Amino acid sequence: MTYCVAMRLSSGLVFAADSRTNAGVDHISTFRKLHVFHQEGERTLVIQSAGNLATTQSIISLLHRRCLDSAQANMLNIRSLYDGATLLGETIREVIQRDSADQQGSGSTDFGCNLILGGQIKGEGLRLFPVYPQGNFIEATHDTPYFQIGESKYGKPIIDRVLTYDTPLDQAMQCALISMDSTLRSNLSVGLPLDVMIYENDSFTVNQQYRITEDHPYFSVIRKGWGEGLLSIFAQLPPLELKE
């Protein structure tokens, strides 16, 4: 399994993804699930992936390979993020149809995946899309500024309580990291290291990408602070009085 969260805010974008994949308790591996397509000063596109690992790896490989051919639509020549979401949806359908056709009669293998595409192309604003196994997608709005894929339920409450469209990027990343920590504590199928990225509006750079491991000093501090803060607040709750 996996957990990815992406936020589209007034001042930029925030992305966070774990890196664990597993096919049972005795077969755990690490694979990157945050992928960047970038042209300095012109576009920065980020794709996060969750679901069947073979499917998502094929999709990302195809997208990179097609960037070498300027004659066909690819992530480095599309004119808008909407076109990028359409292209990503088409590629998802292509890979799933190909692989599922090859495996007919082999059982109940789930070739499905979910992806998030976010970023900015020069000439338009920030955009963020979750793209589904069927190839369709929706877009983030002021009222819905974030999306999650994978094991999302454990990390959702903190985001819902804290995040708004106008949340500063540094606070949004703190929120994403706490959301990740809550998920790490509750689900063994999500694991470190984390790949995170902050993208500032109109920057067209990729210089705020980070990998967070178990001994990352800042992550350790906020994990400890958040846990201790919850215990402190819980201890301050008024005594239980359920009588009417």
Q: What is the per-residue pLDDT across 12-31, written as a single tens digit (0 to 9) for each?
A: 999 999 999 875 667 788 99
pLDDT of 163: 98
Q: Where residue 229 sits, what CATH number does that domain have?
A: 3.60.20.10
Specify the residue for token string 């109940």.
108
In a domain, 25, yes or no: yes
Direct distance between the N- and C-terminal alpha carbons of the chain, in angstroms, rounded to an integer: 45
Q: What does pTM read for this prediction?
A: 0.96
In a domain, 167, yes or no: yes
In a domain, 244, yes or no: no
Q: What is the per-residue pLDDT across 70-124, written as a single tens digit (0 to 9) for each?
A: 999 999 999 999 999 999 999 999 999 999 987 765 567 899 999 999 999 999 9
In a domain, 241, yes or no: no
pLDDT of 15: 98
In a domain, 216, yes or no: yes
- In the chain, the percentage of residues whose pLDDT exceeds 90 is 90
Residues 6+ apart with CB under 8 A from 206: 36, 38, 44, 197, 199
Q: Are 22 and 182 in contact (CB under 8 A)?
A: no
pLDDT of 125: 98
In a domain, 163, yes or no: yes
How many domains in the chain?
Answer: 1
In a domain, 38, yes or no: yes
Segments forming the whole domain that contains residue 208: 3-235
Q: What is the per-residue pLDDT across 140-159, written as a single tens digit (0 to 9) for each?
A: 999 999 999 999 999 999 99
In a domain, 32, yes or no: yes
Three-state secondary structure call for residue 131: strand
